[in-house]
Structure 1
């Protein structure tokens, strides 16, 4: 039986995004902002590409349903923690972003441990949160790489990311509580 490599392409792209994440973080720590921004853009394009391939050619898989969000979370959490460490974003925002993701993973894990697994599917509030988080990270990286620092826009995006992060955490908490009710 021949191996159909094309059917696994979205998963390979997600794995590639996981591999790019520590490289981008390393570039940020070294203050190589241009390379960090380039890797961030490649990771973003790869996210769009793997999703498009999976939907267009019906290549969705159980593994992809885990790998894609895992790669997204690894990128976002790593970016926010590193941007806070290098003082490009406020530490409280990184703590908020990480805490939300830990809460969601914790809730899903508890559900599984209690033999009440939840369907893992992104809510619209999560998609909006992720989009805002990526735009802010991209703006900060571009600002450092190319001197495109726009304080008013950055401040507005920080406020938007904070508000959406809190809102989506509340939505997921509510959905989890409803799911876990006797």
Structure 2
């Protein structure tokens, strides 16, 4: 039986993003900003590419539905924590990003433990939050790599990331409470 490698391509790309994440973190810790930015850019673009391939060519899979958000969370949470540790972005923002993801993961896990499994479908607020978080991390890395600091852009992105993170957390908390009331 031959396996159609193309059908698995989105999953391979997602796994690649998981593999790139620790490499990008090491580069940040070592202050190799240009390499970290380029690796992060590849990882961020891979998120768009695997989703586009899966949707365009109907290659969605159960594995991909699980792996993709894990890869997204691993990349974003790792980047925000590491960038906060090296004082490249505000620690409070990293805490907010991590807390949101822990809250969502904890709520879904709790619903499963209570015998009330909850299917989580990406909400628009979550997609917007992920996009803003990725853009801001990219801007921070680019600023470090190329020495281009635009304070107004940073403040705008900090506000956008914080607002979207809170809004998205509230949406998922509301959906979880509604699910658990049934």
TM surpasses 0.5: yes
SS of corresponding position for 2:163: helix
Moved more, 89-98 or 2-11: 2-11
**TM-score, normalization: structure 1?**
0.98
SS of corresponding position for 2:13: helix
TM-fit CA distance, 1:108: 0.5
SS of corresponding position for 1:149: coil
Measure the CA separation in 2 of the matches of 1:44 and 1:143: 17
Measure the CA separation in 2 of the matches of 1:44 and 1:165: 18
Q: Equivalences for 1:1-182 in 2 at 5 Å?
A: 1-182=1-182
The number of equivalent residue pairs is 182
Give the 4+ runs in structure 1 shifted more than 2 A.
Answer: none
TM-fit CA distance, 1:80: 0.2
**TM-score, normalization: structure 2?**
0.98
TM-fit CA distance, 1:5: 1.2
In structure 1, list runs of 5 or more residues that go unmatched.
none
TM-fit CA distance, 1:52: 1.0
Measure the CA separation in 2 of the matches of 1:62 and 1:19: 20
